[in-house]
Structure 1
Amino acid sequence: VLPDDVDPMDVRYNVIQWVHRSTRGWSYGSSVRDPRTQEIIKGHVTLGSLRVRQDYLIAEGLLAPYSEGRDDVGMLSEFALSRIRQLSAHEVGHTLGIAHNFAASSDDRASVMDYPHPMVTLNAQGEVVVDNAYAVGIGEWDKRAIIWGYQDFPEGVVEAEARSRIIEKTLASGLRYVADEHARIGTRASAGPAHPAGSLWDSGADPVAELNRLMTLRAVVLGRFSDSAIQNGRAMATLEDVLVPAYLMHRYQVEAAATVLGGQTFTYAMRGDGQAVMSRVSADEQRAALSAMLATLDAKALRLSDDIVSLIPPRPPQSGVSRELFPRHTGYVFDPMAAAGTAAKITLTQLLDYKRAARMNNQQLADLDLPGFADVLSIVINDLWPSSRDSSLITIERMVQVMLVDQLVSLLGNVAAAPQVRADALDALVKIQKRAEKTRDRTLPGAAHMRFIARQISAHLDASDVFQRGDLTVPPGSPI
Structure 2
Amino acid sequence: MVTSLPQGLGSNDIGLDRGQLGSKRLVQFEQHNQHWVLRQLNTQYIASSSNAQEQQAAVDAFASAILWRGKIDDGSADLTPLLFEDLQRLTNRLNQTEQGQYRLDPNTSFIPQAGLKTFIDNADVDVQLNLRGNHPGDQVWQVAADPERLALKVRFSFIRLPKQPMTPVPYHPQSGYIAMQFSDYGQPLDRPIERRWLVKHRLEKTQPGTAPSPVKKPIVYYLDNGVPEPMRSALLEGARWWADAFEAAGFIDAYRVELLPEGADPQDMRYNMIQWVHRATRGWSFGDAIVDPRSGEILKGHVTLGSLRVRQDHLIARGLTSGWQEREQAFAQAEQFALNRLKQLSAHEVGHTLGLAHNFAASAIGNGSVMDYPHPQLTLNQERIEISPGYNTGMGDWDKFAIAFGYGDRDQQPQRLRDANQQRLKFISDADARPQGGSHPQAHLWDNGDSPTQELNKLMQIRTLALQTLSPSALLDNEPQSQLNAMLVPIYLLTRYQLEAVSKLIAGQQYHYAIGETSQSAWVSEQQQTEALSALLAQIDPEQLQLPESVQKQLLPPAQGYRPTRENFQSRLGLQQDPLGMAEVLSRHTLALLMHPQRLNRLLEQHWQDDELPGLEQVLEEIQEATLLESLDSDARGAIAMRVNAVVADQWLVSLHHQDTSPEAKALLASMLSETVTSFEKRARRSNRLHAAHYKLLAQRLTDGLTDPKVRVIDHPLKMPPGSPI
TM-score by length of 1: 0.90
Structure 1 segment 62-461 matched on structure 2, within 5 A: 62-64=320-322, 70=328, 72-123=330-381, 125-151=382-408, 153=409, 159=410, 161-185=411-435, 191-272=436-517, 276-385=519-628, 387=630, 389-392=632-635, 393-439=637-683, 440-461=685-706
Q: Whole-Å Cα distance in 2 between the matches of residues 387 and 341 of structure 1?
A: 17
Gaps of at least 5 residues in structure 1 are 154-158, 186-190, 467-480
Following superposition, the deviation at residue 93 of structure 1 comes to: 0.5
Q: Whole-Å Cα distance in 2 between the matches of residues 465 and 95 of structure 1?
A: 45
Q: Whole-Å Cα distance in 2 between the matches of residues 454 and 389 of structure 1?
A: 16
Following superposition, the deviation at residue 26 of structure 1 comes to: 0.6
CA-based RMSD = 1.8
Q: Whole-Å Cα distance in 2 between the matches of residues 134 and 68 of structure 1?
A: 22
Q: Whole-Å Cα distance in 2 between the matches of residues 166 and 142 of structure 1?
A: 13
SS of the aligned residue for 2:300 comes to strand
| Contact 1:65–1:72 (8 Å) recurs in 2 | no
SS of the aligned residue for 1:40 comes to strand
Distance 1:213 1:361, change over 3 A: same
Provide the residue aligned with 2:73 in structure 1.
none
Q: Whole-Å Cα distance in 2 between the matches of residues 200 and 348 of structure 1?
A: 18
Q: Which deviations, in whole Å up to 9, do the C-alpha atoms of 1:266-323 show, x marking residues without a partner?
A: 0111243x6x431110111111100000010010000012221121111123422211
Q: Whole-Å Cα distance in 2 between the matches of residues 166 and 338 of structure 1?
A: 52
* Greater C-alpha radius of gyration: 2
Following superposition, the deviation at residue 35 of structure 1 comes to: 2.7
Following superposition, the deviation at residue 54 of structure 1 comes to: 1.2
SS of the aligned residue for 1:128 comes to strand
Percent identity of paired positions between Structure 1 and Structure 2: 40
Which sits farther off after the overlay, 443-452 or 77-86? 443-452
TM-score by length of 2: 0.60
Following superposition, the deviation at residue 265 of structure 1 comes to: 0.6
SS of the aligned residue for 2:303 comes to strand
Q: Which deviations, in whole Å up to 9, do the C-alpha atoms of 1:324-372 show, x marking residues without a partner?
A: 1111111221111101111101101011100011011111121011111
Q: Whole-Å Cα distance in 2 between the matches of residues 325 and 270 of structure 1?
A: 47
Q: Which deviations, in whole Å up to 9, do the C-alpha atoms of 1:41-68 show, x marking residues without a partner?
A: 2211111011111101110110017857
Q: Whole-Å Cα distance in 2 between the matches of residues 131 and 464 of structure 1?
A: 49
Distance 1:465 1:83, change over 3 A: closer
Gaps of at least 5 residues in structure 2 are 1-224, 226-259, 712-726
Distance 1:348 1:464, change over 3 A: closer
Distance 1:133 1:370, change over 3 A: same
Which sits farther off after the overlay, 405-414 or 353-362? 405-414
Residue 36 (structure 1) aligned with residue 294 (structure 2): yes
| Contact 1:66–1:231 (8 Å) recurs in 2 | no
Which sits farther off after the overlay, 19-28 or 66-75? 66-75
Q: Whole-Å Cα distance in 2 between the matches of residues 61 and 383 of structure 1?
A: 31
Which sits farther off after the overlay, 249-258 or 365-374? 365-374
Q: Which amino acid aligns with 1:424?
A: L
Following superposition, the deviation at residue 465 of structure 1 comes to: 8.1
| Contact 2:360–2:427 (8 Å) recurs in 1 | yes
| Contact 1:196–1:264 (8 Å) recurs in 2 | yes
More contact order relative to length (CA 8 Å, sep ≥ 6): 1
Q: Whole-Å Cα distance in 2 between the matches of residues 427 and 284 of structure 1?
A: 28
SS of the aligned residue for 1:310 comes to helix
Distance 1:30 1:463, change over 3 A: closer
Following superposition, the deviation at residue 420 of structure 1 comes to: 1.3
Q: Which deviations, in whole Å up to 9, do the C-alpha atoms of 1:413-459 show, x marking residues without a partner?
A: 22331011111221231122111111144422111101111111122
Q: Whole-Å Cα distance in 1 between the matches of residues 441 and 419 of structure 2?
A: 24
Distance 1:261 1:231, change over 3 A: same
Following superposition, the deviation at residue 204 of structure 1 comes to: 0.4
| Contact 1:28–1:46 (8 Å) recurs in 2 | yes
Following superposition, the deviation at residue 383 of structure 1 comes to: 1.0
Q: Which amino acid aligns with 1:34?
A: D
Higher strand share: 2
Following superposition, the deviation at residue 387 of structure 1 comes to: 5.0
| Contact 1:105–1:114 (8 Å) recurs in 2 | yes
Q: Which deviations, in whole Å up to 9, do the C-alpha atoms of 1:92-148 show, x marking residues without a partner?
A: 10000000000000110000000000000012x321111131010010000000000
Q: Which amino acid aligns with 2:374?
A: P
Q: Whole-Å Cα distance in 2 between the matches of residues 443 and 389 of structure 1?
A: 10
Q: Whole-Å Cα distance in 1 between the matches of residues 288 and 706 of structure 2?
A: 51
| Contact 2:286–2:349 (8 Å) recurs in 1 | yes
Q: Whole-Å Cα distance in 1 between the matches of residues 374 and 639 of structure 2?
A: 35
